[in-house]
């Protein structure tokens, strides 16, 4: 596995400065959330460093990996914005030498979520929604909910994403709907 500093330098070189600033925000937020809710902060930070590693890859490059490396082919029928997450997990494993499945899955599902999200999945996905650089209407509510409940905050996050997709007449990836439904059962 690459060292923490090697990863930071390599990931930083993959993206514009503003996206690196976002990544640092996710790292710091994920560590706080991990400590608050009992997840491993070292793993949460590692997943956060790498979570958007493929964000600026060309669509064709991501598509090739999805097709040739056996990633879920149905992704290709949904928004391209979803692709960098599973591709990122593939890159984290292959190019960065990450072997920890908890970390790889947190990267893989950081955009879509999934049914049965692990504590690590929740921490990274929520950190991505609420890092200090984020500014969208629901973010204040999400940060407030995150003081006490990882799940309630994530539901608010997925609700805002799903609402936005519906308003724009776009498709919703089924895992996002499953993630939200599952979290609602969990908090009830
Ligand atoms: O990579 P980031 O910009 O930090 O954030 P992200 O990975 O959570 O999300 C990328 C975008 O994907 C987000 O703005 C909404 C969009 N998106 C498109 N279709 C879907 C979707 N997000 C989810 N969760 N589910 C979808 O079906
Ligand atoms: Fe992302
Ligand atoms: Fe996200
Ligand atoms: Fe992100």
Token pair 């070189």 is found at 13
Choosing from 82, 115, 136, 156 the residue with most ligand 1 atoms within 8 A of its CB, the one to mutate for a pocket test is: 82
pLDDT in tens, 43-74: 999 999 999 999 999 999 999 999 999 999 99
Domains of the chain are 4-135 (1.10.3210.10)
Residues 160-171 have a mean pLDDT of: 98
Q: What is the pLDDT of residue 180?
A: 98
Q: Is the CB of 161 under 6 A from ligand 1?
A: yes
pLDDT in tens, 106-165: 999 999 999 999 999 999 999 999 999 999 999 999 999 999 999 999 999 999 999 999
Q: Is the CB of 109 under 6 A from ligand 1?
A: no
pLDDT in tens, 85-94: 999 999 999 9
Which residue CA neighbors atom 16 of ligand 1 most closely?
81
Q: How far apart are the first and last CA of the chain?
A: 40
In sequence order, the 6+-apart residues with CB closer than 8 A to the CB of 84 are: 52, 53, 54, 55, 57, 62, 111
* The model's pTM: 0.98
Indicate if the pLDDT at residue 40 is higher than 90: yes
Which residue CA neighbors atom 18 of ligand 1 most closely?
79
Report the separation in Å between the CA atom of 85 and the middle of ligand 2, taken as the mean of its atom positions. 6
Which residue CA neighbors atom 10 of ligand 1 most closely?
81
DSSP state of 21: H
CA 3 to the chain's CA centroid? 21
- d(C-alpha 92, C-alpha 1), whole Å: 9
Token pair 């029928």 is found at 77
Environment of ion ligand 4 (residues, CB < 5 A): 52, 128
**Structure tokens given for 84:** 């960098």
Phi, psi values for residue 172, rounded to 5°? -115, 130
**Structure tokens given for 10:** 């390599």
In sequence order, the 6+-apart residues with CB closer than 8 A to the CB of 81 are: 111
Indicate if the pLDDT at residue 174 is higher than 90: yes
In sequence order, the 6+-apart residues with CB closer than 8 A to the CB of 148 are: none
Rounded to two decimals, the ipTM of the complex is 0.96
Q: 188: pLDDT confidence band, cut at 50, 70 and 90?
A: confident
CB 2 within 8 A of CB 96: yes
Report the separation in Å between the CA atom of 8 and the middle of ligand 1, taken as the mean of its atom positions. 23
Choosing from 29, 86, 111 the residue with most ligand 1 atoms within 8 A of its CB, the one to mutate for a pocket test is: 111
- d(C-alpha 60, C-alpha 117), whole Å: 29
- d(C-alpha 166, C-alpha 169), whole Å: 5
Q: What is the pLDDT of residue 11?
A: 98
Report the separation in Å between the CA atom of 53 and the middle of ligand 2, taken as the mean of its atom positions. 8
Based on its alpha-carbon atoms, the radius of gyration of the chain, rounded to whole angstroms, reads: 15
């Amino acid at each position: 596995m690459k060292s923490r500093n090697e990863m930071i330098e390599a990931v930083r070189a993959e993206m514009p400065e503003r996206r690196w600033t976002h990544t640092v925000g996710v790292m710091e937020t994920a560590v706080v959330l991990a400590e608050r809710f009992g997840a491993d902060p070292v793993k949460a930070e590692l997943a956060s460093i790498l979570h958007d590693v493929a964000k600026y890859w060309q669509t064709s490059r991501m598509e090739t990996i999805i097709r040739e490396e056996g990633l879920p082919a149905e992704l290709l029928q949904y928004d391209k914005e979803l692709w960098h997450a599973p591709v990122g997990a593939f890159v984290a494993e292959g190019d960065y030498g990450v072997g920890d499945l908890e970390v790889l899955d947190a990267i893989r599902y950081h955009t879509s979520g999934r049914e049965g999200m692990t504590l690590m999945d929740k921490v990274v996905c929520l950190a991505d929604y609420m890092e200090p650089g984020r500014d969208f209407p629901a973010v204040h509510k999400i940060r407030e909910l995150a003081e006490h409940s990882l799940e309630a905050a994530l539901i608010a996050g997925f609700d805002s994403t799903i609402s936005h997709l519906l308003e724009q007449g776009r498709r919703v990836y089924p895992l996002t709907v499953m993630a939200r439904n599952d979290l609602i059962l969990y908090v009830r």
